[in-house]
Amino acid sequence: MLPHRHLATLTQLCELPPLPDDADWNGLDIAYLDRDGVLNIGSENYINSPEELIVLDNTAEAVATIRAAGFRICIVTNQSPVGRGHWDHEKLEEINSTLQSELLSEHPDAHLDLILYSPYAPWENAWSRKGKPGMLQVGRQILSATHEGIELTEFDYGPSYTPVNEGNSFMVGDRDADMEAGLSFGIRTFRCNPDVGLHDVLSRVLIYSDRGDNI
């Protein structure tokens, strides 16, 4: 069960917007970010419509700052309401598009380079559902293929995934599942306060000697 991708097929190469100040991406550094509780206020009842989406304070600035440091942004979000039948992929597209629009309205460099989501319910035991690292595996391969300009036809995916150089990449989330996904993927992993979100750990993720948090 592969993840799904916002507004694109999974194997399609990205159209990556320039990094701030026309900096070059080194092809390694990726910020893997959860969505709810990291970029926007989360809810135990899910974010069910664009109207319910509230971007956390200072989030757009934080995203832009991370991109200015040379990172690509890859959102990896569990969205089981799709698999549970609460609403469909089209509704999620509206919510994710609203998130990107609101971030860019606050800061012109707050681009989300790639948005991946796992639509599966917990009982489906999908490899793409955090705390498994499937979305991070796929995100790495899409962004690397885009950087190298090579066709992407299949994925190295699952428990037998062969790790690659992740540079200074990191994961930020607010729940154990996020921590488990990042740590099992082998990258620095940070837990943020869901009332503050990404800005809570902004200074830490850009200190590369900070090895992150444990569960």
Q: Where are the domains of the chain?
A: 4-205
pLDDT in tens, 38-90: 999 999 999 999 999 999 999 999 999 999 999 999 999 999 989 898 888 99
Q: Is 174 a catalytic residue?
A: no
Active site annotation includes 36: yes
Marked catalytic residue, from 21, 29, 36, 178 = 36
**Chosen CATH of 4-205 out of 3.40.225.10, 3.30.70.1400, 3.40.50.720, 3.40.50.1000:** 3.40.50.1000
pLDDT at 215 over 90: no
Q: What is the H or E stretch that residue 179 is in?
A: helix 176-185
Q: Which one is catalytic: 29, 34, 113, 200?
A: 34
Contacts of 165 (CB under 8 A, 6+ apart): 28
- The residue written with tokens 């962004």 in the block is 143
Three-state SS for 191? strand
**pLDDT tens digit sequence for 122-148:** 999 999 999 999 999 999 999 999 999
Give 186's Cβ-side CA count (13 Å radius).
10
Across 6-16, b (16+ Cβ under 10 Å) vs e yields beeeebebbee
Mark out the alpha helices in 53-159 (DSSP H runs): 59-68, 80-84, 89-106, 134-148
The neighbouring-strand residues paired with 40 are: 36, 55
The pTM score is 0.97
